[in-house]
């Protein structure tokens, strides 16, 4: 056994222990399991909300984008800051309503606001369709990190099965408390690792940041700015706006807001989180260093750039620490996804089908869904072909379609009928599927448009279809409602 493997196993065991211990002193009702009994203070909510920015995607994908694409990677820094500044105003509204109505899921929020179980089911289906691919992405990352860091001793399959089994164990036992406790360990390790390598690597290979960027600009002119077509400023701005819109539409972060003890928690976090996510900058530095130090990675392999440069630069010990941090970036989001998906299936699908079910039964169903979901994700991870990539690309676009429905119900009463938002969401989702399957872009849809329009993120097309269908149905249903009530009003 190499030192790296020893460290990885050690941290893995500690993480599971933390996850299991998180349950202590709490009776696990559904409210406790799904939203931590609404008792989390600033630190736990902070860690859960920071979970979004430090997933395996940021760790491997962020450095991979910096390595392969350069400046376009910076969009990752922007959307978080914008979403957090909006969260200051948005999350207290959501939290207050959830607290008053004792909601446990995002689908609950829509179902109760619009007084429509059907809408709850639609949102539940969208949520699970977006969450399972996201879980698969985490498991894939986990497999890559463990097999690379262990020097191939542990195969990807073994890593994925073991990781998932541990995940299921502590999620079933501790629910969202397990996520919160393990994320404390994760963030601590990520901070040390990211800042450590982000500071060390550029200094070691180039002697300084400016020297590194000048070398990159010389070898790859244009890599440090956005190109004039393709990933241009128009692409960048539209992508940042779209991603910031979808940010809190992810069911696990939406419901993550329910865990807060009071609404001041969100305000404090909106101050801290933009600064905190600058840690991603150091991950970019590692990716930029790798550009010229370990050149030649192509296609999906760019995601290995971080691990390759670390292998080349450090001994087995450091590799182990980085591998362990990488595992945690997969386990924590993975656990939040499992809690959320289990809750949604039990609360917004099972309870609708079986209205007589007791709270105890619903809670049991939520937890029994965890191994089922995890097994499905593992099998898809190990067998997944190209269809999987398509699903992954769709995830963010799928959840973004919920945004108009949220915006229209933030006031005391929803501004439109449940039927209209259902129609909008369904139309939007179908558009997302169509656009993704045909890999359309605005350029292919509107070949005659000016370049600025062509570069816009295609996600806006789906959102546009959503809003148009929603408006038409809203106008029609409102007109009908008026004609139906008119005779009574005059009588």
Partner 1 sequence: MRRYRWLAALPTLGMLGGLPFANRVRPYVAGLPFLLAWIVGWVIATSIIMALIYRLDSTRDADAALTTPVDRAKRP
- Give SS3 for 417: coil
411 CB burial (10 A radius; 0-12, 13-18, 19+): exposed
**Residue number with CB closer to partner 1 (66 or 338):** 66
Residue 484 CB: number of other CB atoms within 10 A? 9
Out of 10, 151, 208, 411, point to the residue binding partner 1 (CB under 8 A): 208
Least Å distance, CB 215 to partner 1, is 12
Least Å distance, CB 456 to partner 1, is 13
**Residue number with CB closer to partner 1 (181 or 288):** 288
CA dihedral over 291, 297, 301, 306, signed as positive or negative: negative
Q: Is residue 199 a contact point for partner 1 (CB under 8 A)? A: no
CA dihedral over 291, 296, 302, 308, signed as positive or negative: negative
CA–CA gap between residue 189 and residue 176 (Å, rounded) = 20
CA–CA gap between residue 202 and residue 36 (Å, rounded) = 42
CA–CA gap between residue 225 and residue 354 (Å, rounded) = 56
Compose the 381-420 pattern: x for residues touching partner 1 by CB under 8 A, - for all others: ----------------------------------------
Q: Is residue 317 a contact point for partner 1 (CB under 8 A)? A: no
CA–CA gap between residue 31 and residue 420 (Å, rounded) = 30
Residues 38-97 that bind partner 1 (CB under 8 A): 71, 74, 77-78, 81-82, 84-86, 88-89
Q: Is residue 230 a contact point for partner 1 (CB under 8 A)? A: no
Q: With contact defined as beta carbons under 8 Å apart, do 217 and 224 qualify?
A: yes
End-to-end CA distance of the chain: 86
Least Å distance, CB 309 to partner 1, is 19
Residues 247-306 that bind partner 1 (CB under 8 A): 267-268, 270-272, 274-275, 277-278, 281
CA distances from 267 to 90, 183, 259 (A): 10, 21, 14
Least Å distance, CB 275 to partner 1, is 4
Out of 6, 217, 382, 476, point to the residue binding partner 1 (CB under 8 A): 217
Least Å distance, CB 178 to partner 1, is 29
Q: Is residue 205 a contact point for partner 1 (CB under 8 A)? A: no
Q: Is residue 207 a contact point for partner 1 (CB under 8 A)? A: no
Helices 386-400 and 233-247, interaxial angle, to 10°? 70
Least Å distance, CB 210 to partner 1, is 4
**Residue number with CB closer to partner 1 (233 or 295):** 233
Out of 190, 240, 304, 306, point to the residue binding partner 1 (CB under 8 A): 240
**Residue number with CB closer to partner 1 (72 or 141):** 72
Range list of H helices, 277-402 = 279-293, 305-313, 316-344, 351-353, 359-383, 386-400
Name the one residue in this structure whose structure tokens are 């000048």. 214
**Residue number with CB closer to partner 1 (217 or 384):** 217
Q: Is residue 226 a contact point for partner 1 (CB under 8 A)? A: yes
Q: How many residues bind partner 1 (CB under 8 A)?
A: 35
DSSP 442-467: HHHH-TTS-HHHHTS-THHHHHHHHH
Q: Is residue 203 a contact point for partner 1 (CB under 8 A)? A: no
Least Å distance, CB 92 to partner 1, is 11
- Give SS3 for 440: coil
Q: Count of alpha carbons within 13 Å of 210, Cβ hemisphere only?
A: 0
**Residue number with CB closer to partner 1 (216 or 378):** 216
Least Å distance, CB 482 to partner 1, is 35
Least Å distance, CB 197 to partner 1, is 17
Out of 28, 195, 241, 388, point to the residue binding partner 1 (CB under 8 A): 241
Residue 211 CB: number of other CB atoms within 10 A? 13
Interface positions with partner 1 (CB under 8 A): 71, 74, 77-78, 81-82, 84-86, 88-89, 208-210, 213, 217, 224-226, 233, 236-237, 240-241, 244, 267-268, 270-272, 274-275, 277-278, 281
């Amino acid at each position: 056994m190499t030192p790296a493997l020893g460290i990885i196993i050690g941290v893995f065991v500690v993480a599971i222990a933390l996850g299991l211990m998180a349950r202590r002193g709490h009776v696990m009702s559904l409210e406790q399991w799904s939203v931590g009994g609404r008792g989390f203070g600033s630190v736990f909510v902070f860690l859960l909300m920071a979970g979004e920015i430090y997933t395996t995607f940021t760790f491997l994908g962020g450095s991979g984008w910096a390595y392969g694409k350069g400046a376009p990677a910076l969009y990752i820094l922007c959307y978080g800051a914008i979403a957090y500044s909006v969260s200051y105003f948005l999350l207290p509204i959501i939290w207050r309503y959830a607290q008053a109505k004792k909601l446990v899921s995002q689908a609950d929020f829509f179902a109760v606001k619009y007084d429509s179980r059907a809408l709850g089911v639609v949102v539940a289906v969208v949520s699970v369709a977006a969450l399972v691919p996201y879980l698969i992405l985490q498991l894939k990352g986990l497999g890559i990190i463990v097999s690379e860091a262990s020097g191939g001793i542990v195969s990807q399959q073994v890593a994925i099965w073991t990781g998932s089994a541990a995940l299921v164990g502590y999620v079933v036992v501790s629910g969202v408390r397990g996520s919160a406790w393990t994320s404390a360990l994760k963030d601590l390790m990520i901070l040390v690792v990211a800042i450590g390598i982000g500071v060390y690597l550029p200094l070691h290979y180039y002697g300084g940041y400016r020297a590194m960027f000048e070398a990159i600009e010389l070898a790859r002119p244009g890599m440090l700015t956005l190109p004039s077509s393709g990933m241009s400023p128009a692409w960048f701005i539209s992508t940042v706006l779209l991603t910031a819109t979808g940010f809190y539409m992810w069911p696990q972060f939406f419901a993550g807001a329910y865990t807060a003890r009071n609404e001041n928690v969100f305000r404090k976090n909106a101050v801290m989180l933009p600064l905190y996510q600058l840690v991603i900058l150091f991950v970019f530095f590692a990716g930029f260093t790798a550009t010229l130090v370990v050149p030649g990675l192509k296609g999906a392999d760019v995601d290995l750039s971080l691990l390759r440069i670390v292998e080349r630069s450090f001994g087995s010990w450091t590799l182990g620490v980085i591998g362990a941090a990488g595992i945690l970036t997969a386990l924590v989001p993975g656990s939040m996804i499992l809690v959320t998906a289990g809750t949604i299936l039990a609360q917004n699908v099972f309870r609708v089908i079986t209205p007589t079910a007791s709270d105890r039964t619903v809670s049991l169903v939520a937890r029994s869904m965890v191994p089922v979901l995890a097994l499905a994700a593992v099998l898809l991870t190990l067998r997944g072909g190209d269809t999987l990539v398509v699903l992954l690309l769709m995830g963010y676009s799928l959840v973004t379609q919920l945004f108009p429905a949220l915006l229209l119900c933030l006031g005391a009463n929803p501004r439109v009928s449940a039927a209209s938002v259902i129609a909008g969401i369904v139309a939007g989702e179908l558009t997302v599927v169509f656009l993704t399957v045909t890999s359309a872009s605005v350029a292919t849809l509107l070949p005659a448009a000016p370049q600025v329009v062509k570069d816009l993120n295609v996600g806006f097309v789906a959102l546009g279809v959503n809003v148009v269908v929603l408006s038409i149905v809203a106008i029609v249903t409102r007109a009908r409602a008026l004609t139906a009530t008119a005779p009574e009003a005059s009588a």
